[in-house]
Amino acid sequence: MRKFTINEQLKRLPEKLAPVLKSFGRAPALRKESPGLYRPESCLHLFEYESEKFYDLKSYFYALNSANNNIAGRELDVFFEWCESRLIVSKAVREPESTVELSYCGLSIYVPSSPNAGTSYNFLPLYRQTELEHTMKLISE
């Protein structure tokens, strides 16, 4: 599947993602018994590179949201509505009958295997300008 972005909208990605990450960041304050976010159980990774697993951002965030009592709610919907209408403007699907591919947003995300696993991506603007790394560290094993 090929997808195309509007480059000026890509600069707004950190700003648009911030409310979603803020919502996920509220989990530790809401859960006294086990601070952090529950790891989604049923989300398949897209690919693996040097033992790092990468997921489709939409698929993973909706699974994460579901595993944590829909903590991101409307913020998540608003973010992916923006992605579909402003960021990813065209899709080319290889196999029209593949409903899984249609639910992907075209953005991938590295998810550490444990809260203590480091990332070599924190130099990227998306990590520097958002709480993405912090959010990933909140996900418990």
69-97 tens-digit pLDDT = 899 989 999 999 999 888 886 666 566 55
Say how far apart CA 26 and CA 16 lie, in whole Å. Answer: 17
Does the pLDDT at position 48 exceed 80?
Answer: yes
Q: Where are the domains of the chain?
A: 2-137
Split at pLDDT 50, 70, 90, the class of 101 is low
Say how far apart CA 128 and CA 92 lie, in whole Å. Answer: 31
Q: Give residue-wise pLDDT tens across range 127-140.
A: 889 999 888 888 87
Q: Give residue-wise pLDDT tens across range 8-41.
A: 888 899 999 999 999 998 876 655 666 688 889 8
